[in-house]
Amino acid sequence: MNPDTTRLARARERMGALGVDVLLLSVGPDLPYLTGYEAMPLERLTMFVLPVAGDPVLLVPRLEAPRVEARPDLFVLETWDETDDPVARVAALAGSVGQVAIGDQTWARFVLDLQRALPGAEFSPAGRVLAPLRVVKDTAEIDALRRAAHAVDGIAAEMRTRPFAGRREIDVHRELVERMLEAGHERANFAIVATAANAASPHHEPSSRVIADGDVVLCDFGGTMDGYCSDITRMFVVGEPTAEVADTYAVLVAAQEAGVQAATVGTPCEAVDAAARRLIADAGLGEHFVHRTGHGIGTEAHEDPYVVAGNLTPLAAGHAFSIEPGIYLPGRFGLRLEDIVVATATGPDRLNEAARDLAVVG
Amino acid sequence: MNPDTTRLARARERMGALGVDVLLLSVGPDLPYLTGYEAMPLERLTMFVLPVAGDPVLLVPRLEAPRVEARPDLFVLETWDETDDPVARVAALAGSVGQVAIGDQTWARFVLDLQRALPGAEFSPAGRVLAPLRVVKDTAEIDALRRAAHAVDGIAAEMRTRPFAGRREIDVHRELVERMLEAGHERANFAIVATAANAASPHHEPSSRVIADGDVVLCDFGGTMDGYCSDITRMFVVGEPTAEVADTYAVLVAAQEAGVQAATVGTPCEAVDAAARRLIADAGLGEHFVHRTGHGIGTEAHEDPYVVAGNLTPLAAGHAFSIEPGIYLPGRFGLRLEDIVVATATGPDRLNEAARDLAVVG
């Protein structure tokens, strides 16, 4: 990622509008979004201090300074030594402030320390400032999401030719992780491989269960490529599916298509959720679709906008999100189908192109 | 990990002593330490609510409930649906409380939401309650750390027979990740591969730099196996080392040995740091040892006790930590040597047994 000064300027504009005096960012996606630098999720504090006016400072542990790509247009780099107090340093950089916006994923221990070090300040999550910027992707960001989507499309296609029976879930999991790295992802974020009854658990952890004839296999995998995330779910079945699996899958495909087609600019997120949900409910399976229809995606695997009941936010051009209904029959099997979609002025742009049928494998 | 009720009882005893009314745990190692369950680091809140008296409740998103292994001896499982407010649920479970201890790595957005939902409460980090328990490892935990150490010892030994020249840092990185998984780790936490001048950056990210004749190669890798972490650093050199590299490495080996031998029960952590540091300073290289000597290790890759100047905590039997001095010559090369050590009544017990010489490789 190679952010320019425009993002900083827009962040400051929003800080001004919200009355935020200083933005404090640590671990999580906001920091690389503004500076290109990603903090290590460890006990040594990294913090970007962005005052609404004045010089932005990136404070890092001295031993991590060589990891930082200098961006004098974006920040002054400062370091702290092992025996320094980084919280006191941040407080001194922030100065006398009333309103502090702190990165949403900052560790609690640092939040509490900073609240004590800045006793007059009121803290709010930085998402107030940055989520509205991050949610609208520009052309370069959509291109990056599309490249990541195409990389996992290629893996999904290859998996149709691979053997499944006799392998363990964990083996297929590792293959997916390895293939994501080979396909150009710098990081594999997850690779759910859930077979037969395990697929009825939406966030199943891959186990040592051996895949057998007749199993459905749910593969939901994604990673980060050039700073932007992929996320795809495709379904496989070892040998011919039963009529029940085939019929249920047909309902799911129709529901997913309805969700995608509903994702037009101006449509509230909850209406997109309802469009997919309605078809599953009409088939008498509504109680088995136990999660929202989708989540936003960008530098973070899950971010705004959430495609969920109660979210009245209308989709805007440049919103990127998953459409991933699922049908889960406890103790029996589960099915999910997922693509990444971008809302555009000319309608929904589905980034994933891999075949969406239930792939029969060996 | 398979915690028993003793840990919960000890946590509550400490809560009572500190005047903590309720413990709130989410992502991070405290939750699996007490319950065996690890929360997903995502936007849906998971929270363990442990009142000082009364029933402990584990609140999870409904779709993640199938991941939870039931432990009726440890908690009641409750779920929240996509349109519920999990913060309000936690606040209701906590009830009217004065002192809240919240997991150190809980996301800021949830800390701030909970502070608003529990306006009368004072928040402190859960580390106050749990770090003193977690820092002393019992026999089963030391056995787990030893198994994890032996797994990476085996990898370090194998690497001595592998080709390095002509491969990229990222290739060796991927090999280490793959080998940790093959060796029984459920997760590879990091695998630093830093060559030549890159090794002068202690937390270097593996790059596409191709390893060449004469390069020193720093490999610092670790993961999680049966819930407990490994962490080892070994040094390799392609072809015979220069006299300067060999001499500098000899200083490092002596410093690391001094650190290990100083790690006796009752010795303050900072004295262990000083013991290793002194030998490097005596060789005129003190300014090039830019980090602390070590960190505690357990279910977390870095935890108490930190072997650092200013930490007056005396080592106790069952403390487990790294001893990993380094010497970094910017623009030229860097060296580090690391073992995991447990303080015991009969002296330091070094868990890693892999050869510590500078391995000459092809």
B236: number of Cβ within 10 Å: 23
Averaged pLDDT, A325-349: 97
Averaged pLDDT, B15-39: 96
- The encoded tokens of residue A46 equal 């990294």
Residue A1: per-residue pLDDT: 59
Among all residues of chain B, which has the CA nearest to that of A310? B83
Chain B residues touching A205 at Cβ < 8 A: 67
Residue type, B149: A
- Whether A302 sits inside 8 A of B104 (CB atoms) is no
Q: Which of B107, B127, B291 sits opposite A104 (nearest CB)?
A: B107
With cut-offs at 50, 70 and 90, classify the pLDDT of residue B351. very high
Averaged pLDDT, B138-156: 97
Q: Could you report the predicted ipTM of this complex, rounded to two decimals?
A: 0.92
Please give the share of chain B, as a percent, with pLDDT higher than 90: 94
Residue type, A18: L
Please give the Cα distance from A298 to B21 (Å, whole number).
39
Q: Which domains does chain B have, with CATH numbers?
A: 5-134 (3.40.350.10), 139-361 (3.90.230.10)
- Whether B43 sits inside 8 A of A302 (CB atoms) is yes
Chain A residues touching B42 at Cβ < 8 A: 301-302
Averaged pLDDT, B131-137: 96
Q: Which of B109, B124, B309 sits opposite A125 (nearest CB)?
A: B109
The residue to which tokens 């977690």 are assigned: B134
User: What is the tens place of the pLDDT at every residue in B63-74?
Assistant: 899 889 999 999
| Peptide linkage before A32 cis (omega within 30 of 0) | no
Residue A173: per-residue pLDDT: 95
B210: number of Cβ within 10 Å: 13
Residue type, B147: R
* Dihedral sign for Cα atoms in the order B79, B84, B87, B88: negative
Please give the Cα distance from A269 to A163 (Å, whole number).
39
User: What is the tens place of the pLDDT at every residue in B80-109?
Assistant: 999 999 999 999 999 999 999 999 999 999
User: What is the tens place of the pLDDT at every residue in B205-249?
Assistant: 899 999 999 999 999 999 999 999 999 999 999 999 999 999 999
Please give the Cα distance from B281 to B285 (Å, whole number).
5
Q: Which of A66, A108, A201 sits opposite B67 (nearest CB)?
A: A201
Residue A2: per-residue pLDDT: 73
Query: In this structure, are residues A334 and A283 in contact, taking their beta carbons and an 8 Å threshold?
Result: no
Residue B345: per-residue pLDDT: 97
